Amino acid sequence: MKRIFVLFLIAVLSLVSFAVKLTFWTAPNAFQEEFWKTVVAQWNKMRPDIQIEVQTIPAAGSSEEAILSAIAAGNAPDFSENIFSGFAAQLAEIGAIYPLDNFGTDFQRLVEARKMKNIMETWKIKGKYYVFPIYSNPMIFWWRGDILKSLGYNEPPRTYGEIYELSKKFADGKKKFTMQVISGRNWWDRWFDFITYYYAATGGKPYIDVEKRKVNFGDETGKAVVQFIYTMFQNKWTAVELGTNPFYNGTILAKITGPWEVNWAKETFPKVVPNIWFSAPPVPDNYPKDKPIYTFADTKGLVIYSTCKDKRAAFEFISWVFSNVQNDVLWIEKTQMPPAREDLTTNPAFAKFMNDKFFKAYASFVPYAVPPALTDKTIDIQQSMTTNLIEPLMYLKGKPEDILNKAVKEINKLLF
């Protein structure tokens, strides 16, 4: 009996000694961190042979910058989340990430189990699948319904013209502005303003032709979008600086945001939350009333790096997490973000979330949410958008059409 116990102890110690130890980087978001720490704790308890350590992506100018720096220094994690499609294309181009379809039928079974076959097609990079999308956040506008009601509105404005009319009633150009039109000056902010507006105005048309490597937004619809942005700044119905929490303080009536703000809003401004209304991004006045309005999808996923110590072990963990629908239920509970699944509105596991007005609003836009262009020049393109398009519009540095034409010319140079 004693000999059996000794042999068992040796076996356990050997298993621990030879356990695969993997590092996983999570997004710098407290709610996402909480999700990953919860599922990893369950996994580590169940699988002593594959131990995973969760770390937050290091502080840097952006997650992309931190990851590229780690790759260059030879300190990349084994796998990570928070990868958008354009960054994935860049990582694939330099051979930094591993194709998930190399796992063959195991990968296909996971895709089928999570009901995401069509979603995966939008992530294909040169015929391969490098990213496992985790969530899809349609970008929608939040409105101060209480203030709109006081102005005689029963619903948010839909078109540019309707926003102009509302602006004349509310904005004074000093302490009150209609909406936050521009999200910021970082390259990624272009997803949440110009690109969103262009998707809305065109019915989801790509802003970049990736195959022909040229800009699409120099068209008539692009002109309408830049005229809208210019008009809002010209009339002081929006501003470059709007102060701290302008939406919640009543300085502005509307802002664009994603579901990541829901939990924070409920905790920080509980009195404002019941008065929030939702809408699609604004569209030109001639946009058909019976046509759905498209928007930008803030969608990110998970990748395994080419330097991963044990790619099969990493995939086993990924498969374990996402083949269980209850983990997507937990994801929603922790983050309020819709999982990248095609059965959100039909799977009984998610029915309870439809009672929440925020989740229901975001889930309703998932079919009309378009991911960013799959180009490895995303950062360069959107930095150029900031310099040559957004900043001149904000500061009224020229005529809108001239500003647009110059931006198109500069970005086409980058693409070629």
Amino acid in position 400: P
> Which CATH superfamily includes the segment(s) 139-296+374-415?
Periplasmic binding protein-like II (3.40.190.10)
What's the rounded Cα separation, in Å, for the pair 10 and 152? 77
DSSP letter for each residue of 63-105: HHHHHHHHHHHT---SEEEEE-HHHHHHHHHTT-B--GGGGTH
**How confident is the prediction for the chain on average, in pLDDT?**
93
Per DSSP, 57 falls in state: P
Whether 15 shows a pLDDT value over 50: the answer reads: no
Confidence category of residue 13, pLDDT binned at 50, 70, 90: very low
> Which CATH superfamily includes the segment(s) 1-137+298-370?
Periplasmic binding protein-like II (3.40.190.10)
What's the rounded Cα separation, in Å, for the pair 384 and 362? 30
Name the helix (H) or strand (E) containing 372: none
What's the rounded Cα separation, in Å, for the pair 229 and 227? 6
Q: Which residue has the higher pLDDT, 121 or 325?
A: 325
Q: Is 116 within 8 Å of 341 (Cβ atoms)?
A: yes
Q: Is 181 within 8 Å of 229 (Cβ atoms)?
A: yes
Whether 28 shows a pLDDT value over 90: the answer reads: yes
Q: Is 228 within 8 Å of 118 (Cβ atoms)?
A: no
Q: Is 3 within 8 Å of 38 (Cβ atoms)?
A: no
**Mean pLDDT value across residues 360-383:** 89
Strand ranges inside 269-341, DSSP E: 276-279, 295-304
For 116-164, what is each residue's pLDDT tens digit? 988 888 888 888 999 999 999 999 999 999 999 999 999 999 999 999 9
Structural domain boundaries in the chain = 1-137+298-370, 139-296+374-415
For 175-227, what is each residue's pLDDT tens digit? 999 999 999 999 999 999 999 999 999 999 999 998 889 999 999 999 999 99
Fold match between domain 1-137+298-370 and domain 139-296+374-415 = yes
